[in-house]
Copies of this chain bind each other. A is one copy, B any other.
Amino acid sequence: MDERNISQAVIRRLPRYYRYLGELLAHDIERISSSDLSKKMRVTASQIRQDLNNFGGFGQQGYGYNVKHLHAEIGKILGLNVAHNYVIIGAGKLGQALANYASFERSGFLLKGIFDVNPELEGVEIRGVKVQMMSKLLDFINNNEIELAVLTIPKERAAEVAELLADTKLKGIWNFAHTDLHLPERIIVENVHLSESLMQLSYKVARRYEDETGESR
């Protein structure tokens, strides 16, 4: 299977397929036709066939998709067939919320450590993982095969933490700090800039208002 030429748009849609297929699996459904999947996911059956054909021959005419097989194959493409150890840097409300997401663990993301600068948080347990001080971070990453770090710190501190992380063997950073990080190319950064998503919503609401009233506000 060569998925090198799959478009970014398809890749962005894969987690949604993965989610729906996971729900079917949880309901012991073994096969589904593209038209039934289409009704559930509210996308066209032809889009589904086109997307899934990228991975070659999962579907059989008149027989439907093998849910378990397709779920596993998409999981493999998304890198979910192996476990990923990760740490959370920043044990504030957002860091704690993410630490509590049991669904990450089910997808193979294993929380190994939580770090903060606030001494009052030292030793506090979140889902069985104790908050440690930042001075322990580098050794911990290097000695525990940590692959990913989740950054839930204020943007003011993000640059200095990024500089620290640049010297580790981390493979990726999931960045919630609302600033752009500058890291060596071997460390992949995926940004979740929440206020940008909120602005997309307000853009769409503003546009809808214009469409309805013919005037801007």
Contacts from A to B (Cβ < 8 Å): 11-12, 14-16, 18-19, 41-42, 76-82, 84, 92-94, 96-98, 100-101, 103-104, 107, 109, 147-148, 171-172, 174, 178, 180, 186, 188, 190, 192-209, 216-217
Closest Cβ–Cβ distance, residue A102 to chain B (whole Å): 10
Q: How far is the CB of A202 from chain B (nearest CB, A)?
A: 4
Contact B172 A107 (CB under 8 A): no
Number of this chain's copies in the assembly equals 2
A172 & B205 in contact (Cβ 8 Å cutoff) = yes
Contact between chains at B78 and A206 (CB < 8 Å) = yes
Q: Given the complex, which residues of B lie within 8 Å of A11, measured CB to CB?
A: 200, 203
A172 partner residues in chain B, CB cutoff 8 A = 201-202, 204-205
Instruction: Kindly provide the distance from the CB of A205 to the nearest chain B CB, expressed in whole angstroms.
Output: 5
A197 B201 Cβ-Cβ under 8 A: no
A104 touches B192 (CB 8 A): no
In angstroms, Cα B198 to Cα A103, docked, is 11
Instruction: Determine if B194 and A101 form an interchain contact, defined as CB atoms under 8 angstroms apart.
Output: yes
Can you give 20 contacting A-B residue pairs, CB < 8 Å? Answer: A16-B193, A16-B196, A19-B178, A19-B196, A76-B216, A77-B206, A78-B202, A78-B203, A79-B199, A79-B209, A84-B205, A93-B94, A93-B97, A94-B94, A97-B97, A107-B199, A172-B204, A190-B197, A190-B201, A192-B192
A197 touches B202 (CB 8 A): no
Indicate if the CB atoms of A197 and B192 lie closer than 8 Å.
Answer: yes
Verify A81–B200 contact, CB threshold 8 A. no
Q: Which residues of B contact A103 (CB under 8 A)?
A: 178, 195
Q: Are A208 and B180 touching (Cβ within 8 A)?
A: no
Contact A208 B188 (CB under 8 A): yes
